[in-house]
Amino acid sequence: MAPPESGSRLIFNADDFGRSESINEAVIQAHRSGLLTTASLMVNEDAFEAAVEMARLNPRLGVGLHLTLICGHSALGHDKIPGLVNEQGEFTDNPVSAGFRYFFEKGLRKEIEAELEAQFRKFRATGLSLDHVNGHLHMHLHPAVFKILMEHAVEWGISRMRWTRDPFWLNARLASGRWFYRGLHAAIYQVLSAKALRCLEERGIKHTAWVFGLLQNEEVDQSYLLKLLPALPKGDVEIYSHPSTSRYKNELDALVSPAVLALVQKLNLPLIRYQDL
């Protein structure tokens, strides 16, 4: 599908598919009745199997792998990766400490590699086509993690990946408040995405030109989308959020909003999946 005259095509993605029943319900509702084209699957969480069944019943939904190395559960047991998880198979909920440990503790690299391989293997066992790869809290761009992913890109079937690049200059025009959070995250991922770009291009791994959602954490709502869509830069775009029928219902409401749907049509913005890039 060729880009329209505006030069933009849209992927609307939901992260955390499989984490809970409320998230699963929101994903399917947003896909069937709204704008959602893809979802990123957490293979180690409680509602994983239900999410897989829902995906099979909705074959137009592109399903990717939402790799988890923090704030979630592991595929391997504590005996296999004792440096990463507690005895209950839980990663730390502190992304800052995890980021430093994964970078400086070289002995963890083999455990990270083994856990990533197990998550890819668990995804393959579903029989679903791998639409894309990304990471919970964007951990896929962490230098240690990204290096492992690139080393195994062919083996693990990585052909499309989220390139987290949410432009601060545009976000600052559209939203206000939480300036420290937004500025810090924009700076961190400007550096990480720049470092990753050459590797992605050398390996022919496809990605969008822009990703929106990082700087709007929990607030990718109707108001934001109505301001963002007319201001989109040229190039393929991913807009991601965390819709649910409970905690982030505002983000679900945005994806099924008649006003947002009408604006997408008015602007002639085709909806695609990563596999359509």
The tens place of each residue's pLDDT in the chain, 277 residues long, gives 444 445 689 999 999 999 999 999 999 999 999 999 999 999 999 999 999 999 999 999 999 999 999 999 999 999 999 999 999 999 999 999 999 999 999 999 999 999 999 999 999 999 999 999 999 999 999 999 999 999 999 999 999 999 999 999 999 999 988 899 999 999 999 999 999 999 999 999 999 999 999 999 889 999 999 999 999 999 999 999 999 999 899 999 999 999 999 999 999 999 999 999 9
- CA 177, 180, 185, 191 dihedral sign is positive
Would you state the pLDDT for residue 7? 67
Residue 238 to residue 171: CA distance in whole angstroms? 15
Tell if the pTM clears 0.85, that is, is over it.
Answer: yes
Here the tokens at position 143 are 């230098």
Would you state the pLDDT for residue 4? 45
Residue 109 lies in a domain: yes
Asked if 28 and 50 count as a contact pair (C-beta separation under 8 A), the reply is no
Amino acid at 145: V
Residue 3 lies in a domain: no
Question: What CA dihedral angle connects 164, 9, 172 and 216, to 10 degrees?
Answer: -60
Residue 71 lies in a domain: yes
CATH number, domain at 182? 3.20.20.370
The residue with tokens 């086509």 is 129
Here the tokens at position 3 are 């880009």
Residue 196 lies in a domain: yes
CB atoms inside a 10 Å sphere around CB 1 = 9
Structural domain of 223? 10-276
Give phi and psi for 177, each to the nearest 5: 80, 165
Residue 4 lies in a domain: no
Number of structural domains (the chain) is 1
237-241 sheet: strands from edge to edge: 133-135, 62-67, 38-41, 10-17, 237-241, 210-212
- Can you give the chain as a three-state secondary structure string? CCCCCCCCCEEEEEEEECCCHHHHHHHHHHHHHCCCCEEEECCCCCCHHHHHHHHHHCCCCEEEEEECCCCCECCCCCCCCCCCECCCCEECCCHHHHHHHHHHCHHHHHHHHHHHHHHHHHHHCCCCCCCCEEEHHHHHHCHHHHHHHHHCHHHHCCCEECCCCCCHHHHHHHCCCCHHHHHHHHHHHHHHHHHHHHHHHHCCCECCCEEECHHHCCCCCHHHHHHHHHHCCCCCEEEEECCCCCCCHHHHHHHCCHHHHHHHHHCCCCECCHHHC
Burial of 182 (0-12, 13-18, 19+ CB in 10 A): buried
Would you state the pLDDT for residue 261? 98
Asked if 272 and 10 count as a contact pair (C-beta separation under 8 A), the reply is yes
